Chains A and B, each alone.
Chain A
Amino acid sequence: MAQNTPPPMPQNQPHMMPPAQMAPPQQTLPQQGGQFVPPAQQAPYPPVHQMQLGGQVGGGNAGFGRVLLSEWTKIRTVRSTIWTLVVMVVLILGLGVLLAGTVKPDTDDDYVSVSLIGVIVAQLAAATLGVLTISAEYTTGMIRTTLTAYPRRLQVLVAKGVVFAGLMFAVGVVTMGLTAMIGKSMLTSRIGDSTADVDLLRSVVGGSLYLAVIGLFGLGLGVLLRHSAGAITALMGAILLPMIIGPFLPQSVGEKVMQYSPMFALGKLIGGGGDDGGPGPWPSLLLIATYATVVLIAGGIRLRSRDV
């Protein structure tokens, strides 16, 4: 009987004793914090009565610019961002250099598009990072801290989107621009001048915009589904499935499924117009941006209306 066990005069209730009896001798009282040498992952409690709780909090205000800065700090201070960017750069640049040094394209091929093949794989990393940007907040519980500090939820989502898309675009332009130049000069020196029309704006800028847009699509799925694994699975399905199941569908349907898919848009953007039908590079990009917008709006509605 649990209720029989406590003695009438409990002896071992250190929490109610005066501070002097509070801690065993070898433990350090808060008042003696200065003498305490902490082990590696330990920190002493500072004396409360000496705490100056007020301080320099400034007179600034919260606004969209602030939350933008906050989201930038968040995205640059987690390892998943760094790793994803490293993977993206290695894939784009490495694959580009590898191909430029080995393949033998015809001289009427677009050397830039050959060099940028790595983007097709790198987009998976970009989209996954888009998912993690928001889903990791749900997984860790950080979202509650975020929304406590800044309760205007849609602004938080928009700020995340702006920061993330900006980062993807910037990294994309630099990496793809570099890869395109290196790859083109390598192929030119190996095989000779290409007769194909090279559209650097379409390939590099369009490709970078695509990375930002597919990442926003991932962000939208992340805020909509709130679970990293589920959202990443849905994302991979959306990117890869059309190209896999397209050929097995009746031709008229399968063609449309493939032509309106993200992969097709990326192919058009880095690989040139071609004459394989379907929308052109820029309309394709716009279509994918529409997908991303739809998912983001749905996610935004859920973020706004649901408890966190």
Chain B
Amino acid sequence: MIEARGLTKRYGTKLAVDQLSFQVRPGSVTGFLGPNGAGKSTTMRMILGLDAPTGGNVTVNGRPYNHVQAPLREMGALLDAKAMHGGRTAYNHLLCLAQSNGIPNRRVDEVLGMVGLTQVAKKRAGGFSLGMGQRLGIASALLGDPGILMFDEPVNGLDPEGILWIRNLMKQLASEGRTVFVSSHLMSEMEVTADHLIVIGQGRMIADTSMRDFIETNSQSFTVVRSPQVDKLNTLLRGKGATITPDQAVAGAFRVHELPPAAIGDLAAEHGIALHELSPRFDSLEEVYMRMTQHSVEYRAGLPGGPPPGWGPPGMAPPPGYPQQGGPQFAGPPPGYPQQGAPGAPWGAPVGAPGTGAPTLSKPQSNGSEG
């Protein structure tokens, strides 16, 4: 268990982390979410005692990290996959870490096998690909068989295979009852990995809640409708009290708010209007997050609702396999991913059920404290 109380870090006049209090509990993957520069890495460095907090404190299993006798046995961390001497072989890199914690040499071979680096154990780490370096970092985190694991942006820059591998590994670790704390600025990744969310923006806490609650509380639902008889349908829908906005993503489509999909379909059938599309949507975590953090993002983009510049590496394409970040029109899960209401879907709202499908108008609980 990681516990932070009033954790604060100030660099000069800039407040990087502002009064963060949270607990990271065992048995689940806790996502640590925020745009670049939100203070995630600083918080993680403070957890590891690499940076000294300006105020507050943070403990690992009840003790400050640097008072832990053999830290690798309690907590494994991967902050930066490049944080190793490139001239040392993978085996020797792990060996020197193991030795400092009194971990036997054979454990080094074990963890190398776990991450699939046995064949390159005698190769210098400097020649490793990003994915292999990341796995070497994970191997070092697993060395002491710790109950707590912390990863900072573990999937950044990995190919889809690597992303899937790390995602499954984190779930596996959590299912064994370990505490897994993983930071990311990729909402879509968190959406499928984390059970619990700690969301920060500009160093301040925005939300500390389960993934399901976060989406259910903050998500807005609507229905995307396409029809050759748009004007007629729109008039009818407005008559039923629906709000209609054009869907900017596809010409001719529009979004219907405050009316369940079934009612829209019935209405169209009643008046003999053909429908080419009738799809219920929920905001993705990404959209919810964007909305919640808009006022707390340090440097706003010029475009309203557009992604802030700190969102992802500037000038770089998103990693392969990722959707364009910050696309506000992206709604709901894509094909192939369990649809809303399917067992195991994080947002768990049955499709077309008017009760849950209706827009959730309640404000995010933490929004008030933010302003």
Tell me whether B336 and A18 are in contact (CB under 8 A). Answer: yes
Across the two chains, which residue of chain B brings its CB closest to A51?
A: B114
Tell me whether B145 and A53 are in contact (CB under 8 A). Answer: yes
Tell me whether A307 and B328 are in contact (CB under 8 A). Answer: no
| Residue from A4, A16, A66, A152 within 8 A of B334 (CB atoms) | A16
Question: Whole-angstrom distance between the alpha carbons of A7 and B252 in the complex?
Answer: 13
Question: Whole-angstrom distance between the alpha carbons of A178 and B330 in the complex?
Answer: 75
Interface size on A, residues (CB 8 A): 76
Within 8 A of A (CB), among B15-51: 45, 48-51
Across the two chains, which residue of chain B brings its CB closest to A58?
A: B104
* List of A residues within 8 angstroms of B329 by Cβ: 3-4, 6, 8
Question: Whole-angstrom distance between the alpha carbons of A14 and B318 in the complex?
Answer: 13
Tell me whether B116 and A44 are in contact (CB under 8 A). Answer: yes
Q: How many residue pairs bridge A and B at CB < 8 Å?
A: 250
Question: Whole-angstrom distance between the alpha carbons of A17 and B168 in the complex?
Answer: 14
Provided the pairs A53-B114, A78-B87 are in contact, do residues A1 and B303 lie with their beta carbons within 8 angstroms? yes
Question: Whole-angstrom distance between the alpha carbons of A21 and B72 in the complex?
Answer: 37
Tell me whether B336 and A21 are in contact (CB under 8 A). Answer: yes
Residue B361 interfacial (CB < 8 Å): no
Tell me whether A57 and B163 are in contact (CB under 8 A). Answer: no
Residue B253 interfacial (CB < 8 Å): yes
**What is the distance, in angstroms, from B285's C-beta to the closest C-beta of chain A?**
11
Question: Whole-angstrom distance between the alpha carbons of A78 and B97 in the complex?
Answer: 15
Residue B249 interfacial (CB < 8 Å): yes
| Per-residue interface assignment for chain B, residues 85 to 107, with 1 indicating a CB less than 8 Å from any chain A CB and 0 otherwise | 11111001001110111111011
Tell me whether A144 and B101 are in contact (CB under 8 A). Answer: no
**What is the distance, in angstroms, from A266's C-beta to the closest C-beta of chain B?**
30
Residue B65 interfacial (CB < 8 Å): yes
Residue B308 interfacial (CB < 8 Å): no
| Per-residue interface assignment for chain B, residues 75 to 88, with 1 indicating a CB less than 8 Å from any chain A CB and 0 otherwise | 00101101111111
| Residue from A3, A9, A54, A80 within 8 A of B327 (CB atoms) | A3
Question: Whole-angstrom distance between the alpha carbons of A18 and B168 in the complex?
Answer: 12
Residue B110 interfacial (CB < 8 Å): yes
Tell me whether A70 and B328 are in contact (CB under 8 A). Answer: no
Question: Whole-angstrom distance between the alpha carbons of A2 and B100 in the complex?
Answer: 50
Question: Whole-angstrom distance between the alpha carbons of A10 and B333 in the complex?
Answer: 9
Tell me whether B114 and A57 are in contact (CB under 8 A). Answer: no
Across the two chains, which residue of chain A brings its CB closest to B301?
A: A2
Across the two chains, which residue of chain A brings its CB closest to B96?
A: A73
Most buried by A among B129, B247, B250, B336: B336
Tell me whether B160 and A45 are in contact (CB under 8 A). Answer: no
Tell me whether A42 and B132 are in contact (CB under 8 A). Answer: yes
Residue B298 interfacial (CB < 8 Å): no
* List of B residues within 8 angstroms of A56 by Cβ: 104, 106-107, 110
| Per-residue interface assignment for chain A, residues 286 to 308, with 1 indicating a CB less than 8 Å from any chain B CB and 0 otherwise | 00000000000000000001011
Tell me whether A141 and B80 are in contact (CB under 8 A). Answer: yes
Main secondary structure of the interface of B (DSSP, over half): loop
Tell me whether B161 and A27 are in contact (CB under 8 A). Answer: yes
**What is the distance, in angstroms, from A45's C-beta to the closest C-beta of chain B?**
4
Tell me whether B65 and A151 are in contact (CB under 8 A). Answer: yes
Tell me whether B84 and A51 are in contact (CB under 8 A). Answer: no
Residue B127 interfacial (CB < 8 Å): yes
* List of A residues within 8 angstroms of B113 by Cβ: 46
* List of A residues within 8 angstroms of B52 by Cβ: 305, 307
Within 8 A of A (CB), among B281-329: 303, 305-307, 321-324, 326-329
* List of B residues within 8 angstroms of A14 by Cβ: 160, 321
Residue B66 interfacial (CB < 8 Å): yes
| Residue from B45, B135, B176, B247 within 8 A of A307 (CB atoms) | B45
Most buried by B among A10, A23, A41, A52: A10
Question: Whole-angstrom distance between the alpha carbons of A27 and B66 in the complex?
Answer: 43
* List of B residues within 8 angstroms of A141 by Cβ: 80, 82-84
**What is the distance, in angstroms, from A217's C-beta to the closest C-beta of chain B?**
23
* List of A residues within 8 angstroms of B128 by Cβ: 41
Tell me whether A41 and B100 are in contact (CB under 8 A). Answer: no
Within 8 A of A (CB), among B116-143: 116-120, 123, 127-129, 132, 135, 140, 142-143
Tell me whether B88 and A77 are in contact (CB under 8 A). Answer: yes
Most buried by B among A33, A63, A140, A145: A145
Across the two chains, which residue of chain B brings its CB closest to A55?
A: B110
**What is the distance, in angstroms, from B157's C-beta to the closest C-beta of chain A?**
13
Question: Whole-angstrom distance between the alpha carbons of A28 and B247 in the complex?
Answer: 39
Tell me whether B92 and A15 are in contact (CB under 8 A). Answer: no
Within 8 A of B (CB), among A30-80: 30, 33, 38, 41-46, 48-49, 51-58, 60-63, 66-67, 69-71, 73-74, 77-80
12 contacts across the A-B interface (CB closer than 8 A): A1-B303, A15-B192, A45-B161, A46-B114, A48-B165, A56-B110, A60-B102, A66-B99, A78-B88, A142-B85, A144-B50, A149-B97
* Chain A residues near B (Cβ < 8 Å): 1-11, 13-19, 21-23, 27-30, 33, 38, 41-46, 48-49, 51-58, 60-63, 66-67, 69-71, 73-74, 77-80, 136-137, 140-152, 305, 307-308
Known: A13-B334, A43-B116. 13 other contacts (CB 8 A): A6-B330, A7-B249, A13-B323, A15-B192, A30-B165, A33-B116, A48-B165, A55-B145, A57-B143, A58-B107, A136-B85, A149-B100, A308-B51
